[in-house]
Chain A
Amino acid sequence: MKRAMLSMAILVAGTVTATAAEIAPNDVVFNDGAVETPLTDKPGDPAAGRKVVGTKSLGNCVACHQVSEMSDVPFHGEIGPSLDGAGDRYTEAELRAIIADAKKVFPDTVMPSFYKTGPYIRPGKAFTGKAPDGPLPPLLSAQQIEDVVAYLKTLKE
């Protein structure tokens, strides 16, 4: 009984921590093309962010953007601007806004909104072509967004 109580306490504490640490997609505050408040209270990890940027099943940013620093990853796209020097051109808050929901910064951009849960036109279950089973999670998690921001900050001219 005592043990059960203890695990419950840990569970509750864990839940509370997770909730407190993350800003949900709909609660992100965009102000003049910037999101000042980090989406999590754990600082972004540039190495983890680099992986998200270069991995097809994660952010797959290189599908559209060229990054000179990432020459180990083949076939960079040319749909969006090069990410070289992104850390010089934009502040951390601007980078966070663009990655979380680029349409809030550049209304006509073709760039997907990575921290958004809808509404969508004909949302599907990943790349199956089928209807989703339930509400869709954002394309990237709050922590992944912070990791990508941390990585992009390292891209200096």
Chain B
Amino acid sequence: MKKRVTLKGAAAAAMATAVFAAGTSVLAEQDPTVKEMVVNGEEVMTVVADPQPGVSELDKLYDGWLFRSEETQALQMDDFENPGMIFVEQAEEMWNTVEGSEGKSCASCHGDPSSMKGVRATYPKMSPSLGKLATIEMEVNNCRENRMGAEPWKYTGGKMTAMNALITLQSRGMPVDVKVDDAVRANWEHGKELYYARTGQLELSCANCHEQHYGERIRADMLSQGQINGFPAYRLKNGKLNSVHARFKGCVRDTRAETYKPGSQAFIDLELYVATRGNGLSVTGPSVRN
């Protein structure tokens, strides 16, 4: 396996060896090899950024793309190769499909999907119409139930996640800019608490892997910073688009814990914290991951 020879890496390794010999075990995270992500040969993404002071414990932000193999990286840099785009196309069709008692489609009120530009970059946020902290999924179902008179979609279902990908794509390249203001501060604090809670029988927090050990391999997988700016993510492992809450659930399950439910207040608050922790990276979804 390739090891980056960076000053930080070498110093950390030397320190780890010294500390380890003294009887405690501290291994530091490893920075990924930084390269440029250019989508379709023209859209340059910000995949390395400085964290926003006060909302992130990280020294440097790295898009999850940097931690993947060259083959996987290449898939995401070409929309014709990115399997996530198939679902975006499906969502474009749904966008224009009239459903429900009110005889409306998304397009009836919102026009072209490009009207969603900027939305993904600022969510989750306080929703004026819902009167609470909302995710994109919640807004979509709010529209479906209260404006279209249609059945809500399953939170992590295929239709919902495809629609989220279509909405996300409109903001691709924009910096994530999720606000922590007084209206959502309690949610954010709760999300942060969850981020550092060591759950399950394995007693692992999000931070244990994605803050303390990113850039290192756990068995065959390289841990990333767990940034969500690339979601929804097409996973080669399951051949579909995956939503943020579905990934949260999978991670918490892997700590041998009783998970929270997708769409639960816990995961909404956690999404807020994790989103702000990556403020400054580009929206890069739909991404391609292992």
Task: State the A residues within 8 Å of B (CB).
Answer: 33, 56, 60, 62-64, 74-81, 89, 103, 106, 108-113, 120-132, 136, 139
Given contacts A124-B255, A128-B253, 10 further A-B contacts (CB under 8 A): A63-B218, A78-B217, A79-B217, A79-B218, A108-B26, A112-B201, A121-B199, A123-B257, A124-B258, A125-B258
How many interface contacts (CB-CB < 8 Å) are there between A and B? 99
A56 CA to B202 CA in the complex, in Å? 14
B216 touches A77 (CB 8 A): yes
Task: State the B residues within 8 Å of A (CB).
Answer: 1, 16, 20-21, 23-27, 197-204, 208-209, 212-213, 216-220, 223, 249, 252-259
B259 touches A75 (CB 8 A): no
B217 touches A136 (CB 8 A): no
A127 touches B208 (CB 8 A): no
A140 CA to B23 CA in the complex, in Å? 24
Q: Which residue in chain B gives the minimum CB-CB distance to A110?
A: B208
Which of A89, A103, A122, A130: most chain B CB closer than 10 A?
A122
B256 touches A127 (CB 8 A): yes
A76 CA to B221 CA in the complex, in Å? 10
A127 CA to B251 CA in the complex, in Å? 10
Residues A75 and B258 in contact in the complex (CB < 8 Å), given A80-B25, A110-B208, A121-B197: no
A124 touches B256 (CB 8 A): yes
Given the complex, which residues of B lie within 8 Å of A129, measured CB to CB?
Answer: 249, 252-253, 257-259
Q: What are 30 A-B residue pairs whose CB atoms fall within 8 Å in the complex? A: A60-B219, A64-B218, A76-B217, A76-B219, A77-B216, A77-B218, A78-B1, A78-B27, A78-B217, A79-B217, A79-B218, A80-B27, A112-B202, A112-B204, A113-B203, A120-B199, A120-B203, A121-B199, A122-B258, A123-B256, A124-B200, A124-B201, A124-B256, A124-B257, A125-B258, A127-B254, A129-B252, A129-B253, A130-B258, A139-B201
